[in-house]
Structure 1
Amino acid sequence: MTTPPSPWPPGRIDEIVDRYQRPLLAYAARMNGGDWQGSQDAVQETFLRLCRERPEKIDARIAAWLFSVCRSRVIDMQRTARAMPIDVSQSPMPDPAPDAQTAAIDAEEHVHLDTLMDGLSPRQQEVLRLRMTGRLSYREIADVTGLSVSNVGFHLHEAVRSLRTALAH
């Protein structure tokens, strides 16, 4: 049985994977409590689903579509496995070759920021990750989470305000 030709232009899927693989992995890992295997599975399934979609249907909103599919897949996997709640204390993507001093400083800052993130509501954590890691617009975050654009703005504002207040102390 032969595989039907891809509806995507040659090289376009590779470009999308190159651009979005790391942010999707980071996002999925945070939602998965640092479970790399599950996160990789969710991202792989997201890209497989992308290959089956018609480009004209999603290309204009590719980032929001990818994060939405990935989010749904992680939630489905959590329901199936009865996974633990989001754990933001795990570092999803360590720098592959930092020097010892830089690594120590980065780790300390990352742990501090993760600790501060624990003080945010799960919704604030999610919209902040989508904005910072995924670089999604408010509209795209709204598409992914099902919130209104103004509600996304509210959650982002409150998350940043809370982090600033915590950092000031």
Structure 2
Amino acid sequence: MTKHACQWPPGSIDEIVERYQRPLIAYAARMMGGDWQGAQDAVQETFLRLCRESPDDVQNRLAAWLFSVCRSRVIDMQRTSHATPVDASRIPMPDPSPGPETTAIDAEDRSHLDELMDRLTPRQQEVMRLRMTAGLSYREIADVTGLSVSNVGFHLHEAVRSLRSAFPA
């Protein structure tokens, strides 16, 4: 086996890519100020790095590992390009699978929710998206962001409280 050969069983990487590619690209694009090409590059490099890792080393924490590596890659890309930090709260989060009917029916509520999400702090937005879009646990979000588990819980609680108080019942 060469140094760059994939250490995962055949087909397993395909399943992982199928499951995590869209949420990782959305996460990376948001961090990169809407740069979808850069986000795709970061995610591709994340999956390439996964191939070089032993399944035994990351399988029990796969989602957190993927988002953490992707986050680090985006930060590295921003540093090397001398990118000016962008207010990520201004970039709309794409919905990965709505049909035209759903989009038309939910457009007003979705627009209102996007406006309310924009009012959250950048940290609250990040933990909310990692929880809701990526489905990560508090521990996984802590691993990705470097926050403590209790701090993740605090930011999520505050975000939900803010959204509930502002969104009509």
**TM bracket (short chain):** 0.7 to 0.9
* Inter-CA distance 109–138: structure 2 relative to 1 (3 Å threshold): same
**Length-normalised TM-score, structure 1:** 0.88
Once the two structures are superposed, the pairs formed by residues 63-102 of structure 1 within 5 Å of their partners are 63-81=63-81, 82-83=83-84, 84-93=86-95, 95=97, 97-99=99-101, 102=102
Structure 1, unaligned runs of 5 or more: none
Q: How many residues align?
A: 166
- Give the residue type in structure 1 aligned to 2:147: L
- Give the residue type in structure 2 aligned to 1:142: A
- Give the residue type in structure 1 aligned to 2:140: E
Shift of 1:114: 1.4
Structure 2, unaligned runs of 5 or more: none
User: Retained in 2: the 8 A contact 1:30–1:92?
Assistant: no
Shift of 1:125: 0.5
Shift of 1:73: 1.3
The match for 2:6 is: 6
* Inter-CA distance 156–63: structure 2 relative to 1 (3 Å threshold): same
Q: Distance in 1 between matches of 2:41 and 2:26?
A: 13
**Length-normalised TM-score, structure 2:** 0.88
Work out whether 1:151 is the aligned partner of 2:151: yes
User: Retained in 1: the 8 A contact 2:5–2:52?
Assistant: no
Identity of aligned residues (%): 72
User: Retained in 2: the 8 A contact 1:31–1:87?
Assistant: no
Shift of 1:23: 1.2
Give the secondary structure class of the aligned counterpart of 1:168.
coil
* Inter-CA distance 153–59: structure 2 relative to 1 (3 Å threshold): same
- Give the residue type in structure 1 aligned to 2:137: S
Once the two structures are superposed, the pairs formed by residues 1-169 of structure 1 within 5 Å of their partners are 5-81=5-81, 82-83=83-84, 84-93=86-95, 95=97, 97-99=99-101, 102-168=102-168
* Inter-CA distance 111–160: structure 2 relative to 1 (3 Å threshold): same
